Amino acid sequence: MRLLAVAAAVLLAGCAGGPPHEPDPLVELPSVRLLVKAGGDPLPVVAARVEAVAHGLDARTTLDHSGPRPSALVPSSELAKIGWLVVDAGGIPPDMLAVSLSAQAGVVAVEVDARVRLIDPVAGEEAGPRVVLDPMVGAQWVHAKVGSPAAWDAGLDGRGVTIAVLDTGVDCSHPDLRCRNGGRDFTGGGSTADVVGHGTHVAGTAAAIGSNGRGGSGMAPRADVLPVKVLDDSGSGDYSWVAAGIVWAADQGARVLNLSLGGPVPSAALRDALAYATARGALVACAAGNDGTDRASYPNTYPGCIGVAATRKDGEVGTTWTNWGVNADIGIGGESIMSTCTQGRYCQMSGTSMASPALAGVLALALQGGIAPSAAVELINRTGVPLTGRLAGLSRPDVAALAAAIRAAPSATPLPSATLTRVPPTATRRAATSTPTAGGPPAPTVFPGATHLPPSALPWPCAVVGVEAGAVTIRCPYKAPSATP
């Protein structure tokens, strides 16, 4: 059709009596990438078939040597580990290529390499970045809310745990960040530097250095940050970049991964990458999204992701803009979060992008405490505070109670002492239970003479609330007895 239109334009110019008009050059449209899942046959065999099909279609769609660039396999050793190939369609119509590839032996699935984007900070009064000229831990309200200083004082600070930040990069020159050498860029920019500032804020929320006399503190102030740049300088990235980054981070030994990003399109490649990471013992925190909806977003709805909703400073409820439902497994503070920003600054941002790394830090504390990855989320929920409203049924971490449960476990190993800047205490996790009356709420259960109480012995959603004077005390929310005999 385009060639017919050009020919018609030339004929009309000739009829008008004017000089011959050279047609405008064909504009090369942006190429589309496809992700191809191999199965049944060895990956190199399937790759050869895919390449042969693509080159055959190139010959049919390229009219001359000045036509669109040919298709090509894009090397990705990380995606190859989970059985996926990346194909640049070049000038081939993506739907034509997808249909042809799907018919090949050994091809299990074909999907478009869709785009993902950082979860943008929430617009409005709390949107950032807003520079904080005199930052301090006391300005970080989440610490006071969840009781993280009690965990730090008990030696739970994330040391020995690496948190991979899959984002826009990280400004590792910031004096309040401890980056592990060997980060990686998957966007083609050649550097993990953070131009946007999003990834740097995320990194500080999870693991800004504590007790160093500057700025604030991350949730796991002695954890290491591994920068994995999967979003370009516009804040967007390909699903293939994210999937490859997940695989690479897991191979580097990162025990916690944070994904403060999302997209509307499901992806089997992302799902497989998450399964690869979790099979290697990694825990993955994923931002639930800021659209105020329960519509699914990806990758956080996949089983490998722990979907993190944002809660408010006041009360135990979600923010008005946090996603919920299938997107959320747990909630934690996400509004007015002060953290590190580029160029050595500090700033506030709001969003589930900020809630997710806070949970990533809590996960690092649990792993440092010897909790198995398969049990960490259950223990965090069990010792947490029940949420209400649209987040009813979920919990908000109580890091002080989590630390008490870890120290009470028989397998708990002695933790190193740590002295970090204290936050003024706020309201306790739950109001003290009154003396029980007939049919009323139960008093805390005390185990005299006990020094350890395994977390597995606590019925959900009970929690350890004290370990002192040779006794372990637990408390359980009251549930009225059923009228059914």
CA angle 209, 217, 185 (to 5 degrees): 55
Exactly one of 167, 171, 232, 272 is catalytic; name it: 167
Sheet strand arrangement including 236-238:
236-238, 115-118, 261-262
Rounded-to-integer distance, Cα 104 and Cα 122, Å: 45
Exactly one of 353, 356, 395, 398 is catalytic; name it: 353
Rounded-to-integer distance, Cα 161 and Cα 307, Å: 21
- Taking alpha carbons only, the member of 147, 163, 153, 156 closest to residue 396 is 147
How many angstroms separate the first and last alpha carbons of the chain? Answer: 76
Q: Give one DSSP letter per residue of 161-187, joined into a string.
A: -EEEEEES---TT-TT--BPS--EE-S
Tell me, yes or no, if 198 is annotated catalytic: yes
Exactly one of 71, 148, 157, 198 is catalytic; name it: 198
Tell me, yes or no, if 201 is annotated catalytic: no
CA angle 392, 394, 399 (to 5 degrees): 130
- Taking alpha carbons only, the member of 427, 425, 398, 424 closest to residue 219 is 398
- Taking alpha carbons only, the member of 188, 254, 194, 268 closest to residue 225 is 254
Rounded-to-integer distance, Cα 293 and Cα 291, Å: 5
Tell me, yes or no, if 267 is annotated catalytic: no
Rounded-to-integer distance, Cα 399 and Cα 191, Å: 35
As annotated, the active-site residues are 167, 198, 353
